[in-house]
């Protein structure tokens, strides 16, 4: 099993190209189920989650061809996926696959919309909380789907097709918004989604659906008005840059010191995180090529942060922020309001010498003078990258176990960091 070895204490200097967003690439790939035409997606990151979803879609009958990476001066442009769901041969998404990646549950809406039936495994447990799917199901029921749960599977049918309706989500959910939005694009008439998630990845999917022929008003707002179509067409779409990868590297630079250009990043997609980063004392500047982050000496100022749906501070950057302020010159407070169990990095950061007290959904972090490298365990995707940030700051060697969590969501992490001066290597063992 691969491990990552980091020798801490090096500044980061240079340029890091930002990949396409995992959380946009996944629903965009799923959108291919809505049409028998070809959907071409550019800037798709090469990640374990993307590859797993490709297998799931192939199982439904989607034909996937991949163009190679472009060579030349910009080698990080990602891959181009051509997805064609001419014939959907299987409307079942099996437990063995869905249980390994929650986002694959989002095939449910498109399968019901196009095939009028679907059998999709419930996603099951997850390390960061219970993560129910009640709003996905109530949203699809509102569009006319008949849904039963049997032997761990959602069995759905809509013999006469889905029909648009007004749906008001009781709580903001990225996944439920994706599922209903995708289904509504092929439903009869108008669907109104109120209290929709506003994450940039939702906007990216909505824009792709518009290219495919749907009419969608309110993109970027919490009210989406979708005029469904009998048939959607193929399209060419480029995946939005990954704001979580952007934030992760920005926090890493603030942690180690130095100056890095995050190439292709969009500041407006993570303004709350960048504002919090500035409060720690880092300098952050939006430039035409992306975002420039630097910290030249000086101490890390403690902060108070609470995670919120977009445009608030993202839960997917909470662990990274915590790693940064372990070395602040005072006490920081970080509250997690989205997922109830998203503090598994705390015990691992403590192994490096961090001083963190947990009370319910709030962590109180008292800055220490130095972290010391140690062997640690990656527990989930975002938690594991917080250990990378901590390892880059720590004195001596940090060995991160179970890095398959990192490979789910970060493309060429070691390469991007080592090009900027980090001492980070992957140790492969048989
Ligand atoms: C997505 C992101 C994940 C991010 C999260 C919150 C992807 C692939 N994943 O996950 O990286 O951390 O948004 O920004 O894009 N909930 C319910 N009932 C439901 C659905 C959700 O109660 O039917 C709750 C969840 O338990 C959670 C909250 O709503 O407490 C938000 O979850 P949601 O936005 O749905 O997260 P995901 O879509 O799973």
User: What is the pLDDT tens value at each position of the chain, 430 positions in all?
Assistant: 789 999 999 999 999 999 999 999 999 999 999 999 999 999 999 999 999 999 999 999 999 999 866 555 455 678 999 999 999 999 999 999 999 899 999 999 999 999 999 999 998 655 555 678 999 999 999 999 999 999 999 999 999 999 999 999 999 999 999 999 999 999 999 999 999 999 999 999 999 999 999 999 999 999 999 999 999 999 999 999 999 999 999 999 999 999 999 999 999 999 999 999 999 999 999 999 999 999 998 899 999 999 999 999 999 999 999 999 999 999 999 999 998 878 999 999 999 999 999 999 999 999 999 999 999 988 888 888 999 999 999 999 999 998 888 888 999 999 999 999 999 999 987 5
Q: Provide the domain count of the chain.
A: 2
Of all protein residues, whose CA lies closest to atom 32 belonging to ligand 1? 173
Whole-number Å distance, alpha carbon 254 to ligand 1 midpoint, is: 28
> In the prediction, which pLDDT does 341 show?
78
- CATH code for the domain of 93: 3.65.10.10
Tell me, yes or no, whether 207 and 313 share the same domain.
Answer: no
Of all protein residues, whose CA lies closest to atom 31 belonging to ligand 1? 173
Tell me, yes or no, whether 186 and 305 share the same domain.
Answer: no
Give residue 160's domain range: 22-233
Determine the atom of ligand 1 nearest the C-alpha atom of 137: 23
Structural contact between residues 216 and 209, judged by C-beta atoms closer than 8 angstroms: yes
Measured distance CA(248)–CA(403) in Å, rounded: 16
Structural contact between residues 243 and 21, judged by C-beta atoms closer than 8 angstroms: yes
Query: Would you say the CB of residue 26 lies under 6 angstroms from ligand 1?
Result: yes
Phi and psi, residue 70, nearest 5°: -75, 140
Query: Would you say the CB of residue 202 lies under 6 angstroms from ligand 1?
Result: no
Tell me, yes or no, whether 300 and 376 share the same domain.
Answer: yes
Determine the atom of ligand 1 nearest the C-alpha atom of 130: 26
Tell me, yes or no, whether 32 and 160 share the same domain.
Answer: yes
Ligand 1 binding pocket mutation candidate from 45, 174, 196 (most atoms within 8 A of CB):
174
Whole-number Å distance, alpha carbon 131 to ligand 1 midpoint, is: 7
Is 126 one of the catalytic residues? Answer: yes
Tell me, yes or no, whether 77 and 106 share the same domain.
Answer: yes
Tell me, yes or no, whether 136 and 251 share the same domain.
Answer: no
Whole-number Å distance, alpha carbon 243 to ligand 1 midpoint, is: 16
Of all protein residues, whose CA lies closest to atom 38 belonging to ligand 1? 175
Ligand 1 binding pocket mutation candidate from 312, 338, 408, 410 (most atoms within 8 A of CB):
338
Whole-number Å distance, alpha carbon 323 to ligand 1 midpoint, is: 23
Pick from 180, 205, 233: which residue ends a domain?
233
Tell me, yes or no, whether 313 and 187 share the same domain.
Answer: no
Determine the atom of ligand 1 nearest the C-alpha atom of 133: 23
Cβ atoms within 10 Å, residue 405 = 22
> In the prediction, which pLDDT does 78 show?
86
Pick from 187, 211, 233: which residue ends a domain?
233
Task: Given the residues 1, 66, 89, 126, select the one marked as catalytic.
Answer: 126
> In the prediction, which pLDDT does 130 show?
61
Tell me, yes or no, whether 107 and 201 share the same domain.
Answer: yes
Whole-number Å distance, alpha carbon 395 to ligand 1 midpoint, is: 36
Tell me, yes or no, whether 57 and 206 share the same domain.
Answer: yes
Of all protein residues, whose CA lies closest to atom 5 belonging to ligand 1? 174
Instruction: Report the predicted TM-score, pTM, of the whole model to 2 decimal places.
Output: 0.96
Query: Would you say the CB of residue 104 lies under 6 angstroms from ligand 1?
Result: no
**Which positions ≥6 away from 319 have C-beta within 8 Å?**
342, 345, 382, 383, 385, 386
Pick from 233, 252, 283: which residue ends a domain?
233
Tell me, yes or no, whether 192 and 277 share the same domain.
Answer: no
Tell me, yes or no, whether 57 and 127 share the same domain.
Answer: yes
Tell me, yes or no, whether 291 and 219 share the same domain.
Answer: no
Of all protein residues, whose CA lies closest to atom 1 belonging to ligand 1? 174
Per-residue tokens: 361: 């959904």
Determine the atom of ligand 1 nearest the C-alpha atom of 131: 26
Whole-number Å distance, alpha carbon 132 to ligand 1 midpoint, is: 9
Whole-number Å distance, alpha carbon 200 to ligand 1 midpoint, is: 14
C-alpha of 108 from chain center: 19
């Amino acid at each position: 099993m691969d491990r990552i070895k980091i020798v801490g204490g090096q500044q980061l200097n240079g340029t890091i190209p930002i990949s396409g967003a995992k959380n946009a690439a996944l629903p965009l790939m799923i959108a291919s189920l809505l049409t028998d035409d070809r959907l071409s997606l550019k800037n798709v990151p090469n990640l374990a989650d993307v590859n797993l979803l490709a297998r799931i879609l192939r199982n439904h009958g989607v034909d996937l061809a991949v163009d190679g990476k472009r060579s030349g001066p910009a080698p990080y442009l990602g891959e181009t996926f051509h997805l064609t769901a001419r014939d959907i041969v299987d409307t079942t998404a099996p437990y063995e696959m869905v249980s390994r990646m929650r986002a694959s549950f989002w095939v449910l809406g498109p399968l019901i919309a196009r095939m009028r039936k679907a059998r999709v495994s419930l996603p099951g447990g997850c390390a960061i909380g219970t993560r129910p799917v009640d709003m996905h199901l109530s949203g699809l029921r509102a569009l006319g789907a008949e849904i039963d749960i049997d032997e761990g599977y959602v069995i759905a049918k809509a013999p006469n097709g889905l029909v648009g309706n007004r749906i008001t989500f009781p709580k903001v959910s990225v996944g439920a918004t994706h599922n209903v939005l995708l289904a509504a694009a092929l439903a009869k008439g108008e669907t109104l989604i109120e209290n929709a998630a506003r994450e940039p990845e939702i906007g990216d999917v909505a824009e792709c659906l518009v290219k495919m022929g749907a009419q969608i008003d309110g993109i970027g707002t919490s009210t989406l008005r979708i005029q469904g179509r009998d048939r959607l067409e193929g399209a060419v779409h480029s995946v939005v840059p990954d704001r979580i990868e952007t934030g992760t590297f920005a926090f890493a630079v603030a942690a180690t010191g130095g100056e890095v250009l995050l190439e292709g990043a969009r500041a407006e997609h993570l303004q709350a995180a960048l504002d919090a980063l500035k409060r720690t004392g880092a300098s952050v500047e939006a430039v035409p090529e992306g975002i420039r982050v630097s910290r030249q000496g000086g101490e890390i100022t403690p902060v108070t942060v609470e995670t919120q749906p977009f445009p608030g501070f993202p839960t997917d950057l909470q662990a990274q922020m915590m790693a940064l302020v372990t070395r602040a010159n005072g006490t920081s407070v970080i509250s997690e309001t989205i997922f109830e169990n998203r503090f598994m990095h705390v015990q691992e950061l403590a192994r490096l010498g961090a001083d963190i007290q947990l009370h319910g959904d709030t962590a109180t972090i008292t800055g220490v003078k130095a972290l010391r490298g140690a062997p640690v365990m990656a527990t989930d995707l975002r938690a594991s990258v917080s250990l990378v940030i901590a390892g880059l700051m720590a004195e001596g060697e940090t060995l991160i176990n179970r890095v398959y969590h990192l490979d789910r969501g970060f493309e060429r992490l070691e390469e991007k960091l080592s090009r900027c001066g980090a001492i980070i290597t992957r140790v492969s063992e048989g």
